[in-house]
Chain A
């Protein structure tokens, strides 16, 4: 079924695909960098939307997997292993394992306890990152060589890297769409709407929730590996709890439990941050204290725009 929303999402993706040639034409390579960053965070936000939006699990620790993915790349590179397949494979695998460990405890809880326990686990990983001197401790470390894919794709080429990130984004959009509309996804959303009734018709919520938690962590781990390559630098700050808050805000801003929402939210937040910090049309006092305005905007969005940006789009999401 092709709805007007699908068309809008397709239009956004076409626009994103057109960025590299346009940026080259305007000689503004900066935008390539900015939008690549947007797409990487969109991938992370898509993974969070899976548990937060469709699963109803408010994870306040999703930045953990960004960190694990980034450290998987950084640590292997530190020991001289530049093979991207290994690095990214480890990023996904390690994130899945950690998500399984965190999930097996936290998925048993709900509500405020779930928020707090996911936060606590991410803090543990954050302090672990801070205290390992071998990998730079507090200061983090530089990624000397980007992931190598045996000549298949060169991440030092900004355009090639851009299209790789774009490809992963489209793939993840498709995968989540298929996942949430599958039988598995239906059970997951049923648990979110009414756990007691879902139990009554014979489904045990725990394995469904845990599996989603692990899938989501693994997806975000790949975003972390991409982010490490994007910045060529990694610090424990990737796992800071404010980062988890930003990811949550992207999902909410874009529109919770919608396909295009996380992409819209990531774009809106990062472009807004960029605008407040750097756009010359805004006066200097905005640039200096941009977080003040971001904070106010955040509060206003939560108070007044309850369905996010995707809620402004015409048509209805099938999963509403």
Chain B
């Protein structure tokens, strides 16, 4: 185990972390403000990845693909909110889980009808491919660095919007007391639609960034969605700060666990133990972490105030 490998895996963990953050930010807002458990958030991530890949191929421009993909996901998100989710806000979590579970089936199959079940691979444009020489013997793919940069930029932007603008003020107010905000004359339904569309666009952004690294296929959203739930529960439901911290923790723990748990166990206990338990433990690690956090801090690490 050398330092270069550790540094490289740390960057990978950071990259997974910011990706999870993009998904978690929207989901945690929807949880916190509308009190809605949205399992279909992963479907929006998938829609973003497909739309971006489609528009990129149709127009030949990556930038145009990104913009149209984002806009498309925003439209799909708002449509879903208006048609199906709006009536679910007042229902209990059970109904929400089931209805959005139905939406997942619907979207996965719809994508399969439109683009087929086989994975499609979108490419990285020439100006984003290649590697960056970070130190003498550490080269890192430029595209992944771009993802990290975009993710951190979005985090700063979100912080600014939520804590420094009027819209952010309404969002925070909505999270702590919905009835009061509505009573003060704010159109709460419009606010909900905006927040949901906002979250959908962030999920779409994560999806279209993920497109060139992961395979784009029906069901891709669910694989990452469960990790996003872990992020939100660890961070504290409804808290953007918590989502950011949780995403980085989960991204790091998962990536480093997969990379180093097996060699560490082999070295510390025995090679056979490392081979047998390493991979199993690595894939269970984030769920173990979540169980421990919930057992000791049931509200998550950064509980949102108010609710």
Contacts and interface: CB of A to CB of B under 8 A. Distances in A.
Given A248-B98, A302-B102, A120 B93 contact: no
Contact of A298 (B37, B94, B105): B105
Contacts of A127: 280, 283-284, 287
A289 B295 CA distance: 42
Contacts, number: 125
B294 interface: yes
Interface in B259-299: 279-280, 283-284, 287-288, 290-291, 294-295, 298
Contacts of A112: 31, 37, 93, 237
Contacts of B229: 116, 119-120
Contact of A117 (B88, B97, B284, B290): B290
Interface string A7-47: 00000000000000000000000000000000000000000
Interface residues of B, number: 42
Nearest to B87: A303
B110 interface: yes
A245 B98 contact: yes
A238 interface: no
Interface string B72-103: 00000000000010011001011101110111
A128 B284 contact: yes
Given A113-B294, A124-B287, A303-B87, A291 B98 contact: no
A108 interface: yes
B247 interface: no
A105 interface: yes
A105 to B, nearest CB: 5
A128 B280 contact: yes
Interface string B208-248: 00000000000000100010011011000100000000000
Contact of A302 (B31, B99, B283, B287): B99
Given A112-B237, A299-B99, A292 B287 contact: no
Nearest to B109: A292
B3 interface: no
B37 to A, nearest CB: 6
Given A115-B93, A298-B98, A120 B287 contact: yes
A289 B109 contact: yes
Contacts of A123: 226, 284, 287
Given A127-B283, A249-B98, A291 B105 contact: yes
Q: What interface size band does chain A fall in?
A: 35 or more
Interface in A124-138: 124, 127-128, 130-132
Nearest to A123: B287
B45 to A, nearest CB: 16
Interface string B103-146: 11111111011000000000000000000000000000000000
A87 B220 CA distance: 36
A113 B234 CA distance: 10
Contacts of B101: 242, 245, 248-249, 298
Contacts of B84: 299, 303
A117 B94 contact: no
B98 A252 contact: yes
Contacts of A52: 94
A109 B293 CA distance: 12
B280 A295 contact: no
A119 B97 CA distance: 12
B279 A117 contact: no
B112 A131 contact: no
B233 A295 contact: no
A58 B102 contact: no
B107 to A, nearest CB: 8
Given A112-B31, A302-B95, A120 B106 contact: no
Rank and list the top 8 A-B pairs by shortest CB-CB distance, nearest first: A298-B102, A295-B105, A295-B106, A131-B280, A292-B109, A127-B283, A299-B102, A302-B99
29 contacts: A58-B93, A115-B97, A116-B229, A120-B287, A121-B287, A123-B284, A124-B284, A124-B287, A127-B284, A131-B283, A241-B226, A242-B101, A245-B101, A252-B94, A289-B113, A291-B106, A291-B108, A294-B102, A294-B105, A295-B102, A295-B106, A295-B109, A296-B102, A298-B102, A299-B84, A299-B99, A299-B102, A302-B99, A303-B88
Interface of B: 31, 37, 84, 87-88, 91, 93-95, 97-99, 101-110, 112-113, 222, 226, 229-230, 232-233, 237, 279-280, 283-284, 287-288, 290-291, 294-295, 298
Given A295-B109, A299-B103, 14 more contacts: A109-B294, A112-B237, A113-B233, A113-B237, A117-B290, A120-B230, A127-B283, A292-B113, A295-B103, A296-B106, A299-B99, A299-B106, A302-B88, A302-B95
